[in-house]
Chain A
Amino acid sequence: MNEKKMIENFVQLIRRASTDLPRDIEKALESAGRRESGVAGQAVGVILENIRLARRDSVPLCQDTGLHTWTVHHPFTWDAEKIRSWILEATVRATSAGLLRPNAVDPVTGANSGNNTGIAHPMIELAAWKRNYLTAGLLLKGGGSENVSSQVSLPDTGIGAGRDIEGVKRAALKIVLAAQGRGCAPGIVGLCAGGDRQTGYRIAKAQLKRPLDDRNPDPALARLEKSILEAANALGIGPMGFGGKTTLLGVKAARAARHPACYFVTVAYGCWALRRWNLKIDAGGRLPVFSQKPFNG
């Protein structure tokens, strides 16, 4: 196991996530550009130019490189804490290299660590498995989009939302309405119906890793995704909240068992710069493969 190479692979994953917007998002933005006009159209034009320049020059496409979520599956023979240390080292190096903005701030002292490490950051989920390779998914999620992410408790009488699919839809629209353009619309919604509060947020954010053009195998959720997307776009918030036809690029939903007394609808709102990439490495730490799509469902 060449540890230096492993760390370098993780740095390369960070580089791709920070600078190279996945093609599925870019395609959706190109479609939006064809639909929009006026200042909304101009905004999408600038966004598309930005995506191309960032990819060409390998520079962060947005200055807010956000907080980082790593989801790692590894052969059970590997030392999980070692993997964690490689991710930390890669994070520090990528920050020094200007691929990441220092974004880890202590909430008590106000001190910025300067290198993106801090209590509970980067956020790393590690799971051992019997397969003979490692996969790592990285999501960079900015602060603006995180601030407009939210969780609604059903029933919500203010919006006529009961504890049913229609209620979930209304709750999602309530959150998208409140976000206006502040999450850097057009956004992508990751949604979880159910769970406790923590699970709701975790699963909603995990939905953002799904390719935009995938199909939800659950027909009820697939219908819900389509329904929310259409209704959200009908609100007319548009790119940057300038008014327009494209408020969301996609909706990805999941369900989780809920307590009988609770019904949480959680929306993880992703900005248009949905920065996610994946890495696969063999058991010897060789042959890294980078992909815009997740390696495992």
Chain B
Amino acid sequence: MKELITPVSKKVIRSLSIGDEVLLTGTIVTARDAAHKLMVEKKPAFLREHLEGGIIYHCGPIVKKTGRVWTVVSAGPTTSAREEPYEAAVIGHYGVRAVIGKGGMGEKTGKALKKFGAVYLHAVGGAAVVLAGSIRRVRDVLLLDELGAPEAFWILEVSKFPAVVTMDTKGNSLHRSVLKESEKRFENLIA
């Protein structure tokens, strides 16, 4: 179990390997479909301070507002594959150090992880309450009115957020190896 504290250095990121379990403490920023489209098409400068050396979380949380305070009720990961067209550009442009999601990402992102020194962290899909429990507070939310709650940039402070490294900086991907193995088994089955 490796404990990571944001901002995570490139050196620490490069030391991670697929299969490593990590506990993340510090700041993460949610970004899903609309956010990724915006980041690639418009490249808003105001995001840089939150993303450089930082961590993106593919998540559309359920949030509740009590007075002026936001709390995250439920916050599991969404399927990362939908951001595949955008992620490499986001990593390159904003200097993101890690991407948290579920289901993994493709070759284009894999190449960017290797080139720029970033990793993909897989959070347990649907474990929204456990993961919400690791969120200490909502520091801020950006573009809430424009994008709606599931799609906004939620800036979250987390403590010991659990995840597994499934794509590392050396070009390894647990998803690719499971895919290849399961495809092989399928071929044997239908032969």
Contact = CB atoms under 8 A, between A and B. Distances in A.
A102 B125 contact: no
Given A180-B179, A180-B182, A271 B127 contact: no
A60 B73 contact: yes
B148 A62 contact: no
A28 interface: no
Most A CB within 10 A of own CB, among B79, B129, B164, B174: B129
B103 A241 contact: yes
Contacts of A147: 79
B114 interface: no
A265 to B, nearest CB: 14
Contacts of A112: 148-151
Contacts, number: 158
B78 interface: yes
Nearest to A235: B182
Contacts of B64: 98
**For the complex of A and B, 4 pairs with smallest distance between CB atoms:** A63-B74, A184-B125, A182-B103, A62-B126
Nearest to A21: B126
B168 to A, nearest CB: 14
Nearest to B20: A39
B76 A62 contact: yes
Given A39-B19, A98-B64, A177-B182, A234 B104 contact: no
Contact of A173 (B61, B122, B124, B189): B189
Contacts of B73: 59-60, 63, 98
Given A103-B150, A182-B79, 18 more contacts: A39-B21, A42-B21, A43-B164, A46-B130, A49-B127, A60-B62, A60-B73, A62-B127, A64-B60, A64-B76, A144-B102, A181-B178, A235-B185, A241-B178, A243-B177, A243-B178, A243-B181, A273-B126
Contacts of A63: 59-62, 73-76, 128, 132
A185 to B, nearest CB: 8
Using C-beta atoms within 8 Å of the partner chain, give the interface range for chain A: 35 or more
A242 B174 contact: yes
B46 interface: no
B103 A271 contact: no
A271 B126 contact: yes
Contacts of A271: 125-126
B190 interface: yes
Interface string B112-129: 000000000010111111
B128 A184 contact: no
Contacts of B76: 62-64
Interface of B: 19, 21, 34, 59-62, 64, 73-76, 78-79, 81, 102-104, 122, 124-130, 132-133, 148-151, 162, 164, 166, 174-175, 177-179, 181-183, 185-186, 189-190
A177 B19 CA distance: 22
A60 B75 CA distance: 10
Contacts of A102: 148-150
A261 B128 CA distance: 45
A46 B162 contact: yes
Contacts of A60: 62, 73-74, 128-129
Nearest to A148: B79
Interface of A: 38-39, 42-43, 46-47, 49-50, 53-54, 57, 59-65, 98, 100-103, 110-112, 114, 142-144, 147, 159-161, 170, 173-174, 177, 180-182, 184, 231, 234-238, 240-243, 271-273
Given A63-B60, A235-B185, A238-B178, A43 B129 contact: no
27 contacts: A46-B124, A46-B162, A50-B124, A53-B130, A54-B129, A60-B74, A60-B129, A61-B126, A61-B128, A61-B129, A62-B74, A62-B126, A62-B128, A63-B60, A63-B74, A64-B76, A64-B128, A100-B62, A101-B149, A102-B149, A111-B148, A112-B151, A181-B125, A181-B175, A237-B178, A238-B178, A241-B178
B102 A65 contact: no
B133 to A, nearest CB: 7
A53 B60 CA distance: 20
Given A42-B164, A98-B73, A103-B150, A177 B175 contact: no
B164 A114 contact: no
Contact of B126 (A50, A177, A180): A50
A235 B74 contact: no
